Structure 1
Amino acid sequence: MAVSVIATVLNEVDEIPNLVASLSDQTLIAAEVVIVDGGSTDGTWEWLLNARSQYPALLPIRDESCNLKQSPGPIARGRNVAIAAASSDIIACADAGCTYRPDWLANLTASILSGVAEYALGGSCIDPASPTVWDIASAPFFGVKLNPNEPTKSCTARSMAFRKELWQRVGGFPETVLLGEDTLFDAKVRKLVTPAFAQRAKAFYRPRHALRSALRQLASYAVADGALGIRPARLFRNLARCVVEVLALIALRWTPIPLLCILVLENYFAFHFDWRSLQRASFRIWAARFIFSLLVPWVVSWNQIKGGITKANQPNRQNA
Structure 2
Amino acid sequence: MNQVTVSIICTVRDEADNVAALLDSMLAQTRAADEIVMNDCQSVDATPAIIAAYAARYPQIRLVRGGHNISSGRNNAIRHARGTIIASTDAGLTLDPHWLARIIAPIETGEADLVGGFFHPTPRSLFALALGETNYRRSYEIDPAAFLPFGKSMAFRKEVWEMVGGFPEWASHCEDLLFDLAVERAGFRRTFVPEAVVHFTPRSTLRAFLRQYYTYARGDGRAGLWTHRHLLRYTIYSTLSGLLAIGLHRPHLRAFIGLLIGSGVVVYTRGPYRRLWSRLGGRSLGERLIALSLVPLIRLTGDTAKMVGYPVGVWQRWRAQV
Contact kept? 1:238, 1:298, Cα under 8 Å: no
Q: How many residues align?
A: 301
Contact kept? 1:223, 1:312, Cα under 8 Å: no
User: Where in structure 2 are there 5+ consecutive unaligned residues?
Assistant: 281-287
Within 5 Å, give how 1:73-92 maps onto structure 2. 74-92=69-87
Alignment deviations for residues 24-81 of structure 1 (CA, whole Å, 9 cap, x no partner): 1101110101000012111001111111133221111122xx23xxxxxx11111111
- Worse-matched range after superposition: 54-63 or 161-170: 54-63
Alignment deviations for residues 145-201 of structure 1 (CA, whole Å, 9 cap, x no partner): 4x5777563421110000000001100000011111001001111222231101311
User: Where in structure 1 are there 5+ consecutive unaligned residues?
Assistant: 68-73, 314-320
Q: Give me the whole-angstrom Cα distance separating, in 2, the residues matched to 1:58 and 1:148.
A: 31
Matched, 1:155 2:141: no
Matched, 1:36 2:60: no
Amino acid at match of 1:56: P
Matched, 1:306 2:312: yes
TM-score with structure 1 setting the length: 0.87
Q: Give me the whole-angstrom Cα distance separating, in 2, the residues matched to 1:10 and 1:140.
A: 28
Higher helix share: 2
Q: Which residue of 1 aligns with 2:178?
A: 184
Amino acid at match of 2:213: L
Q: Which residue of 2 aligns with 1:272?
A: 271
Alignment deviations for residues 222-268 of structure 1 (CA, whole Å, 9 cap, x no partner): 11111111111111121012112211211222223223322221232
Amino acid at match of 2:178: L
Q: Give me the whole-angstrom Cα distance separating, in 1, the residues matched to 2:315 and 2:127.
A: 30
Q: Give me the whole-angstrom Cα distance separating, in 2, the residues matched to 1:29 and 1:161.
A: 15
Matched, 1:57 2:60: yes
Matched, 1:256 2:255: yes
Q: Give me the whole-angstrom Cα distance separating, in 1, the residues matched to 2:57 and 2:258.
A: 60
Amino acid at match of 1:186: D
SS at match of 2:296: helix
Amino acid at match of 2:219: A
Task: Please state how far the C-alpha of 1:296 moved relative to its aligned partner.
Answer: 3.0
Contact kept? 2:221, 2:314, Cα under 8 Å: yes
Q: Give me the whole-angstrom Cα distance separating, in 1, the residues matched to 2:307 and 2:225.
A: 13
Equivalent pairs: percent with the same residue? 29
TM-score with structure 2 setting the length: 0.87
Task: Please state how far the C-alpha of 1:87 moved relative to its aligned partner.
Answer: 0.8
The alignment's C-alpha RMSD in Å is 2.2
Task: Quickly say closer, same or farther: Cα 1:141–1:86, change in 2 above 3 A.
Answer: farther
Q: Which residue of 1 aligns with 2:285?
A: none
Q: Which residue of 2 aligns with 1:318?
A: none
Equivalent residue for 2:167, pick from 173, 176, 187: 173
Q: Which residue of 1 aligns with 2:92?
A: 97
* Bigger CA radius of gyration: 2
Contact kept? 1:125, 1:203, Cα under 8 Å: yes
Q: Give me the whole-angstrom Cα distance separating, in 2, the residues matched to 1:247 and 1:149.
A: 36
